Amino acid sequence: MDEAQINALELTLSSERFGRYLSWAEGDRARAIHLYTMNCRLSESLYTPLHMLEVALRNRIHDVASTLVAGNKLAWFDLAQFQRGDRQAEQLAKAKSDLTSDRKPVEPSRIVASLTFGYWTSFFSRDYENLWQQGLHRIARRPNGKGLQRKDFAQPLMPLRLLRNRIAHHEPIIGWDLPKHYDKIIELAEWLSPAGAQWCRDNSRFPALYPVEGIALFDGVNSPTPVPHS
């Protein structure tokens, strides 16, 4: 890429967005473009396993929760015991409102698909410990057949939700230990759906894209330090 192309691309990206990469590259504009391109490619490659994790998570919660309230006239998500999170009732109302505005049927399958990843991760807060013990734990199982505790999901899901949101908003992620997070995505997907996890392994380009030597980023004080490859 020549100087004119770099100038044009920098203008397109904005100085604020490009500035982070320029800093990581110690002012080397060609290197900054390389880092920006790598960030985009890695974001794209992580979308595949994050997609499967989110879909598997919401569908397993929906299936198990539906079983727990079988025979109730209301759908599980309309019951108080499933609305303990700070914003879950609000998110549920918005999902229904959006479906109505789009003139789509306000039915369980569409509501489940419309709810955000943040809504689903709320089910792993302490507010749901009793519900987890009562049956929500059935959503997943370790490969060896052993059960899981709520915190087994709660701890890794928070950074994965943040990572997903950064990818969705085109933010930098190359400063993160991405191999570690990728491995955790696969592990959680395996607990929820072994078939889903295998699909991730077969279709995600992340392992092939991420440099074995890591990604060297200048932190503004020290020489460039490779982000580790776990």
Q: What is the pLDDT of residue 78?
A: 96
Exposure class string for 198-224: b at 16+ Cβ within 10 A, else e: ebbeeebebeeebeeebbbbbeeeeee
pLDDT band at 230 (very low <50, low <70, confident <90, very high): very low
* Residue 3: inside a domain: no
Domain carrying residue 47? 12-227
- Tell me the sheet residues that pair with 215: 227
pLDDT band at 11 (very low <50, low <70, confident <90, very high): confident
* Residue 2: inside a domain: no
Mind listing the pLDDT tens digit for each residue in 65-74? 999 999 999 9
Tokens encoding 184: 């955790």
Tokens encoding 1: 């890429």
E strand or H helix that includes residue 127: none
Number of separate domains in the chain: 1
* Residue 5: inside a domain: no
Report the chain's mean pLDDT, rounded to a whole number.
92
Mind listing the pLDDT tens digit for each residue in 187-223? 999 999 999 999 999 999 999 999 999 999 997 655 4
pLDDT band at 226 (very low <50, low <70, confident <90, very high): low
Residue 182, CB half-sphere, CA atoms under 13 Å: how many? 24
pLDDT over 50 (residue 77): yes
Q: What is the pLDDT of residue 12?
A: 86
E strand or H helix that includes residue 146: none
Mean pLDDT of 165-172: 95
Q: What is the pLDDT of residue 67?
A: 96
* Residue 144: inside a domain: yes
Mean pLDDT of 69-89: 93
pTM attached to this predicted model = 0.90
Tokens encoding 46: 């992580």
* Residue 83: inside a domain: yes
* Residue 129: inside a domain: yes
Mind listing the pLDDT tens digit for each residue in 121-150? 999 999 999 999 999 999 999 999 999 999
- Residue 71: count other Cβ atoms within 10 Å of its Cβ: 4
Mean pLDDT of 148-155: 95
* Residue 4: inside a domain: no
- Which CA distances in Å does 183 have to 43, 66, 177, 179? 15, 30, 10, 6
* Residue 80: inside a domain: yes
Tokens encoding 187: 């592990």
Residue that wins the pLDDT comparison between 86 and 50: 50
Tokens encoding 64: 């198990």
